[in-house]
Structure 1
Amino acid sequence: MGGGMDLRRRWRDRVRGDFDAGFGMVEMLFAMVVFSIIATAVAYGIQSATNSTRLDRNRIQAANLAARELEIVRQEFNDKNIDGPALIGDAGVVTNPHPLASQVAGNPLTIDGLPFTVTRSATWMPSGVGSSACDGGSAVTYPVLAVNVKVSWPRMGSTKPVENNTILTPRKAQVNGTDGYAAVKIVGADGQARSGVPVTVSDGAMSATATTADDGCAVVQFSGLPAAPSSFTATVSVGGWVSNTFNATATGSLSLEQGKMKSTSIAYDQAGALQAQLTTAGGFALPSQTVPITIYSTDIVGGTKAFPGAGPSTTIGSLWPAPAGYVSWPGACRMSDPSSAGTSRQPATVVAPGGTGTISHYLTPVEATVVNSSLLPVQNATIRGYATSTSGCTTDATLTLGVTDSSGRLKTSLPAGTWELRADGLTSSSAWPQLSVNATSPQQVTTLSVTP
């Protein structure tokens, strides 16, 4: 009997001991991991819901601002006290034109501490067909104005701006028979439209300015045109931009008529640059006189153009970013053109808008020695190269190569072509030597014999 009690007591103590042992380390770590996963998921869900709510609120505010801008534009467009269609159409692209209460025009519209940017563009459309005014439409007896409003805000991420569009049609009383329209399209080197470019159209007496829209087109309206066609000039000038004739200002001509829309296109783009580097063989020097650089492209008016050199490295700026790129060579003389000197031109170097292309040119090394009739070296003699064909030459018709050393020798180099070498101020005892070289020619060695 006593043994049975002892057995039960021992069993009860063992069971109680197992329950009192608590969680082990493994169980505790597992519980913490599960709790962390659940807490992270809950926090992510809360954050996602918060972000979604914030994004929805921002989009609603942006949509209200876009609708507000269009409503203000409609009121201005139909205001009988002002020429609304002309004012809105000529303004082109504007940013934050109508501030909220106690805010400043041009600055972002701030709501609950968040700044919104409202961008409005207006473009005259021919006869309301919806095509670009610059690409068609000649009889504009009743034009319409396409208005686009975009609203954006900071930290949008992948969210697109809120965008609203409308078409505004002037009252018949606003479109009289003496009105005319000028449509100017700005086209870049790649053939694509350039937006945001201010264009001024003027005949000297009347002038109007508009900014190109997304289609590269700017349209201005003129009232009170004479019965006969009138000549107007469209002008565009933007810092760092250039025409395909290398001019910072580009122009186009129009002949405006009553009740008509006339268009013109201007090639204009952000300028690029080309860096031409001159090299020669080791131990030889470049000519002491800078060598001009000639460029060629099928995309530029005139084909070729020579620029002054600037030593071992010449940077030619304000270049039209021709998609075909630029072929270049040292020297302005036509005889220096590789195709005239018996070799091929180097491949074209593409210059991107706002970018700089680099190309290297090799000048043929020349060792020239000046001696007198006693075959003694003539020191400090200035040697010049004279182009045997001066067609196209600028400063390089005569090229100063350098001065001889104590041994009467000058180690210099020449661009392609045929050159007659002469010692300045000295008389040759025979004919001055002539050298015909190109970019693949080996080192040239010659002697200039002079009389005392």
Structure 2
Amino acid sequence: MNARTTIRTIRQRLQRGAAGDTGMTLIEVLVAMMVFAIIAMAVAYSLTLTLVMTRDSRAREVAANLAAQQIDVVRSLQNVFSVNNGSTTQTVDGITYTVTQTTDWVSNTGTVATCGSTGSLLQNKLVNVSVKWSGMDVATPAVQANTLLAPSGPLNDQSSGTILVRVSGSTNISQPSIAVAAGPDSSVPGNTATAVNPAPTATDSDGCSYILKVVPGSYKITIGTSGDGMINEKQQTTPSKTVPIAAGNSVLQSFTYDKAGSITSTFASNSGTSGILFPSNMYASFVSTGGDPYSAPVTVASKKATTSLFPFPSGYQVFAGTYVAGTPGTAPTCLSVDPGAWTTPNASGHVGARGNFSATKPGGPAGTASVPMGVFTVKAPTTGRFLTAISATAGATVGDPGCATPMAYTFTTKTTGADMNLALPYGSWTLYWATTSTTTPPLSQTIAVSTLNLPSGSALTGTTVFTLDARAP
């Protein structure tokens, strides 16, 4: 091989090696793309953060202007009582701003309260304005502005008193536009109170009404109007309270008042017997976890009756009979009607239990309750008579928890000689007959238990007393 051939061979090999190094490997491409992506993400994040901060800064500036504008509005108002809680929305450049205003009275003792407080006099009104906007970061605080308003004239003096009224609903939400009436309580001996002039205004959006500069004495405060569909926690439609007021002092009187709810109860729900007769003076009892037990008359038609009630969030347990006598708030006087009071096990080892809670909603659809009762048959009674059941005392071993205030239930359907199916609340009873519809028939006109077909588990005490047992299997 000559030198020329050798040189050509070497050149060819070098050219082939150089040709193999003209491109990039796959790894080199991936590394380059990753470096580019990191740089691009950093740049994109920086741009996005800048845009967000710019948008947030501009939104905060607009919010600050809206807050200051609202503060100027409340400062311009002549009547400090017209400045109340509220919320409005406003859209600026496609962003929705929510302006929320909250107010509280600051008393001469430094106490801060929505309607004021007992024992302290109204002095200034604290107004807080808070502004939020759509799309704001959850960690971003709202824009706040505050001011203190002073009434144009004195609200109190040393020779008169101030009555503050606050009305809230079942969930403690303020109740606006509730009528408020006030006047001297005539039931208080030696009362020095005089007619209130001007008359109190309805509650504002904070649920407050203010009765200023009244002559010292005892005043009867009444809220609501008949037929407004409202009710308080004691099941009263136009509740009243007596407020004594001294010179130079103030008293806050709070009411709980809301749209009435209702429960439709199905009575004798445990019986499939047809043609059941219910007492014409039937009562039902309603027990909640938030208020006092309540017994009310019910008119049962096709086994159902609907009762208007205060809408406690927990609802009510319902059972037939008069659990409490008199006004709401009194202690139970007839435990027999309460299935949960039958705590002594019967021969089968069973005890009584109340039904489930039935929900009530303010002004909403009626809740439903199933109410078991004692259902029995009077076999072929003499025609032309009225039947009345009166609470009786059971034998010591029966397990009836007792009824301290006896009940008397009358059936106004006259007997025709055919069997009659009757329903009564749980407890012990004596059945009477009379030729007139009455709850106090002569005691000699009793009906023997031998003429009755009683439900399983019923107990007998003598020849006239029978017990309708709540301890069902």
Q: Deviations over 1:172-197 (max 9, x none)?
A: 7787677753322345667xx53354
What is the match of residue 349 of structure 1?
Answer: 357
Pairing partner for 2:223 from 235, 240, 254: 235
Q: Does 1:211 align with 2:204?
A: yes
Q: CA RMSD in A?
A: 5.2
Cα distance between partner residues in 1 of 2:253 and 2:410: 42
AA aligned opposite 1:294? S
Cα distance between partner residues in 1 of 2:9 and 2:421: 118
Question: Which runs of structure 2 are paired with 1:308-327 in the superposition (5 Å)?
Answer: 308-309=299-300, 311=302, 316-321=307-312, 326-327=316-317
- TM-fit CA distance, 1:263: 2.0
Confirm or deny: 8 A CA contact 1:368 1:409 kept in the other structure: yes
Change (3 A) 1:90 1:386: same
Q: Deviations over 1:297-337 (max 9, x none)?
A: 575456433444465666644334176x6442134586644
Confirm or deny: 8 A CA contact 1:89 1:219 kept in the other structure: no
Question: Which runs of structure 2 are paired with 1:28-67 in the superposition (5 Å)?
Answer: 39=40, 42-67=43-68
What is the match of residue 389 of structure 2?
Answer: 387
AA aligned opposite 1:124? W
AA aligned opposite 2:319? W
Please identify, of 239-248 and 167-176, the stretch whose mean Cα deviation from structure 2 is larger: 167-176
Change (3 A) 1:34 1:3: same
Cα distance between partner residues in 1 of 2:11 and 2:81: 102
- TM-fit CA distance, 1:264: 1.1
Change (3 A) 1:242 1:43: farther
Please identify, of 249-258 and 64-73, the stretch whose mean Cα deviation from structure 2 is larger: 249-258
What is the match of residue 263 of structure 1?
Answer: 252
AA aligned opposite 1:437? L
What is the match of residue 85 of structure 2?
Answer: 93
Q: Does 1:397 align with 2:397?
A: no
What is the match of residue 144 of structure 1?
Answer: 124
Q: Does 1:131 align with 2:150?
A: no
Change (3 A) 1:12 1:183: same
Cα distance between partner residues in 2 of 1:412 and 1:232: 46
Gaps of 5+ in 1: 77-83, 97-107, 373-380, 423-428, 443-452
Q: Deviations over 1:144-201 (max 9, x none)?
A: 22222233444446355433333233467787677753322345667xx533544554
Change (3 A) 1:16 1:139: closer
Cα distance between partner residues in 2 of 1:39 and 1:251: 73
AA aligned opposite 1:3? T
Change (3 A) 1:366 1:129: same
Confirm or deny: 8 A CA contact 1:242 1:319 kept in the other structure: yes
Q: Deviations over 1:206-260 (max 9, x none)?
A: 13244364xx7x35263xx465548463525797753112234444444566654
- TM-fit CA distance, 1:127: 0.7
What is the match of residue 8 of structure 1?
Answer: 11
Scaled by the length of structure 2, the TM-score of the pair is: 0.62
Q: Deviations over 1:244-300 (max 9, x none)?
A: 122344444445666542321213356555564557668655836598642235754
Cα distance between partner residues in 1 of 2:311 and 2:18: 93
Question: Which runs of structure 2 are paired with 1:84-123 in the superposition (5 Å)?
Answer: 84=78, 87-95=79-87, 108-123=89-104
What is the match of residue 416 of structure 1?
Answer: 426
How many residue pairs were aligned? Answer: 395
Cα distance between partner residues in 2 of 1:414 and 1:219: 47
Question: Which runs of structure 2 are paired with 1:240-251 in the superposition (5 Å)?
Answer: 242-251=231-240
What is the match of residue 438 of structure 1?
Answer: 469
Change (3 A) 1:389 1:171: closer
- Paired residue secondary structure (2:113): coil
Confirm or deny: 8 A CA contact 2:342 2:470 kept in the other structure: no
Question: Which runs of structure 2 are paired with 1:187-198 in the superposition (5 Å)?
Answer: 193-195=172-174, 197-198=176-177
Confirm or deny: 8 A CA contact 2:375 2:424 kept in the other structure: yes
